[in-house]
Chains A and B, each alone.
Chain A
């Protein structure tokens, strides 16, 4: 079932957590709400879960309005940030909790719970209590507990924030694989852009209660529309520009041809450091610059140039401070921002 959100507003006292949010999530896609803390992404997730009531607007699931339906009547389940496992119940009891609540026969519920344990690779943990497990294992139990109910939409509230970096990457891959195997709709909230890009099909970047941009992860990452989105996705180089023609701008680094049409007279363009390259061919040279600082990052190195731009290049050849480099900026790498 697809999930539609129309003009949802939510206020906490004076603070507007959500301002007329519109969203459509397709059946079977992995959708991520990405944004800094306080942008309203968790509030939106809680509105979908039924843990928070929208002040106005509508939430529709598969054509049915669920705006005012209580949480325990929605075919939606949540993986909580703190996991919220019942500490006095065993893993098996935790996972079968929702099924038992819905009066599904015990044998059937247990069988389903075991199947879920298999799915999250925790076979044999049936009788453990949550506090006898590691954070990563608890997270899997939380996932299994939500999925056991076969929800139409699975909601994940910062599911990996309590895991260490290495485990997080592994869990991201597993989460993606589980989602693709089950072909279920997953909606995740995160502030980690890397996580969002890794697992999702599409994402919405949110800023102070509004959706700033929505699209496939590639689209949003490669072609951010606003300065906020570009900044949040760390494009790094912001360059003031003037319009010369439909596809041509003038910057302090020279005149550039761009792929996007230019909508303004004076505005901003941006280029990712990794989309520029250091070249030895003078005909490829877009601009020259002197290296101010070079940072070795293992598989690549970052050059901070004296003209204020950042370039990423392969790490084989070290660059000395003050060395002059020629930089190539492909036409497609330049992104024209709307604001």
Chain B
């Protein structure tokens, strides 16, 4: 009797330890082991190359710079003070201005990209299948070209003897014979041309999947253009839009190649400042502190869009 019971319970536990995973019979333990082994390489990778460097950055930002640019492991809040604007020569708003300017450039770039992407996405989605691939390729070609080369191309396009500069000179907007760079305008042109595909492509996928019955319903219910966009198009394209905004806003905040090349020496963004600290200035602690500021900014941008997405999900 006891023997039989034992056998039964053994059989029960055997049955319990199995589960069906997408049609395959597998031991529960094997399943969790497999899940772990799949996850661990990625986890290790981000631990070694992301989490540890971030911690290092955090530690370095509280160290101080030696006379020859080396890191001295003495706790100091100097870098933090400098972030707040207290430099060797008293308080100045320069650092704050640079951070503020970086935010403005990123936000304005994103905004311009969004405004340009909507018509572009609708244009792409409305092309017949045959020509659509061509248009998409055209949009993607610059994407495959090296950033520095593309930015150099803008030097040519914005040169004094090129049509755009000539036209502006003709109108009287600029002195004849001057190039259009370095200038804020050139920075925005460069930034928008880099980031446009990042907004346009996710938006295009969203537009392609759009249910046009909602647009028709909005029209049928006496809506004008803005109301149609606000209630029929925007909610439906929101997923693509938020992906595009995230993909633009976050890297745009740290961009340094374009402002460096097209903005000239006076056009400093936080990316350039960081590059300078780790490069010519050899002031790693301050560079690390600036990097933390940048990370804080981008993370909060991500948090905002994430929270927005969650709220949408609940609704």
Give A contacts to B, CB under 8 Å: 49-51, 70-73, 76-78, 80-82, 84-89, 97-98, 101-102, 129, 145-146, 149
- Total interface residues on B, using CB and 8 Å? 18
**Which of these, A84, A85, A88, A101, contacts B222 with CB under 8 Å?**
A101
B216 contacts chain A at the CB level, 8 A cutoff = yes
B25 contacts chain A at the CB level, 8 A cutoff = no
Q: Are B220 and A86 in contact (CB under 8 A)?
A: no
B211 contacts chain A at the CB level, 8 A cutoff = yes
Contacts of A86 in B (CB 8 A): 214, 217-218, 231-232, 235
A277 and B98 CA atoms in complex are apart in Å by 94
**Which of these, B216, B221, B235, contacts A98 with CB under 8 Å?**
B221
Q: Are A70 and B220 in contact (CB under 8 A)?
A: no
Q: Are B227 and A101 in contact (CB under 8 A)?
A: yes
Q: Are A82 and B223 in contact (CB under 8 A)?
A: no
Asked, given contacts A86-B214, A86-B231, A86-B232, whether A78 binds B315 with beta carbons under 8 Å apart, the answer is no
Give B contacts to A, CB under 8 Å: 211, 213-214, 216-224, 227, 231-232, 235, 312, 315
Q: Are A72 and B220 in contact (CB under 8 A)?
A: yes
A87: nearest residue on chain B (CB-CB)? B235
Q: Are B222 and A51 in contact (CB under 8 A)?
A: no
A174 and B222 CA atoms in complex are apart in Å by 27
Q: Taking the nearest CB of chain B, how far is it from the CB of A154, in angstroms?
A: 11
A73 and B213 CA atoms in complex are apart in Å by 18
Q: Are A78 and B223 in contact (CB under 8 A)?
A: no
Besides A50-B220, A86-B231, 8 other A-B contacts (C-beta < 8 A): A72-B219, A78-B217, A80-B217, A81-B213, A82-B213, A84-B214, A88-B312, A88-B315
**Which of these, A51, A97, A129, contacts B221 with CB under 8 Å?**
A97
A142: nearest residue on chain B (CB-CB)? B217
Asked, given contacts A88-B315, A129-B315, whether A101 binds B223 with beta carbons under 8 Å apart, the answer is yes
A111 and B218 CA atoms in complex are apart in Å by 21
Contacts of B222 in A (CB 8 A): 72-73, 98, 101-102, 149
Q: Are B223 and A72 in contact (CB under 8 A)?
A: yes
Q: Taking the nearest CB of chain B, how far is it from the CB of A27, in angstroms?
A: 21
B227: nearest residue on chain A (CB-CB)? A101
Contacts of A84 in B (CB 8 A): 211, 213-214, 216-217
Q: Taking the nearest CB of chain A, how far is it from the CB of B62, in angstroms?
A: 46
A98 and B219 CA atoms in complex are apart in Å by 9
A82 and B315 CA atoms in complex are apart in Å by 20
Q: Taking the nearest CB of chain A, how far is it from the CB of B314, in angstroms?
A: 10
A157: nearest residue on chain B (CB-CB)? B213
B228: nearest residue on chain A (CB-CB)? A72
Q: Are B219 and A89 in contact (CB under 8 A)?
A: no
A58 and B220 CA atoms in complex are apart in Å by 20
Q: Taking the nearest CB of chain B, how far is it from the CB of A293, in angstroms?
A: 43
A89 and B235 CA atoms in complex are apart in Å by 10
Q: Are B211 and A77 in contact (CB under 8 A)?
A: no
